[in-house]
Amino acid sequence: MTSERTLRPQTITAEAFAPFGDLILPTADGVLFGPQDARLDLGGGIPRLYIMRLEPRDLSFKRITRHAEVTQCLAALGGREWLIAVAPPIESSDSSLMPDPSMIQAFKIPGDHAIKLHKGCWHAGPFFKGVDVDFINLELSDTNEVDHINCALDKEFGVTMRFEV
């Protein structure tokens, strides 16, 4: 039997999101690289920057994913607010290592912010309401082929997750 856990998204802050990645905020042109900037790790292959068009879907999930070999950046185009669920990173490429469902947190991300996920950060999303949203995605060209570790929360732990909005 599967139970449903409700996630109450908190508005993202750099401090709250730090265990999972970096919050990327608008900065003035000409500001030099510094502590306010996301630290990317794209050295394992050819970086791929693309725009993915996502359709709205139910605000629930039963699967969570991680990429052990690369950081990933996500940003919504058009100023739309969106949601993501995350769990603490596991950098190992051992696919038998699973997240702790009790550690999954949800964040609400304003449309003028972006995020960088640490290597190995478990994530589900982006999620949003309304019409299709285009997202900028930065990862490696083969991330979804060779570095895509999934956990079926319903099968492994008997739980599904739902955002409360």
Say what the pTM is. 0.95
Number of H helices, E strands in the chain: 3, 14
Cα distance from N-terminal residue to C-terminal residue, the chain: 25
Rounded CA gap, 126 and 85, in Å?
8
Per-residue model confidence as pLDDT tens for the chain (165 residues): 899 999 999 999 999 999 999 999 999 999 999 988 999 989 999 999 999 999 999 999 999 999 999 999 999 999 999 999 999 999 999 999 999 999 999 999 999 999 999 999 999 999 999 999 999 999 999 999 899 999 999 999 999 999 999
> Any idea where the domains of the chain sit in the sequence?
3-25+40-163
Locate 137 and state its tokens.
């995605």
What CATH architecture is 3-25+40-163? Sandwich (2.60)
Amino acid present at 109: I
Task: Supply the pLDDT for residue 36.
Answer: 87
Residue 1 confidence (pLDDT): 82
Q: What is the pLDDT of residue 153?
A: 99
| Helix, strand or coil, per DSSP, at residue 156 | helix
Per DSSP (E only), the strands in the chain are 3-7, 10-11, 21-24, 47-54, 60-61, 63-66, 72-76, 79-87, 105-111, 114-117, 122-127, 133-140, 149-152, 159-163
Distance CA(74)–CA(84), nearest Å, equals 10
Report strand pairing: 10-11 vs 105-111.
parallel
74 neighbors 137 (Cβ within 8 angstroms): yes
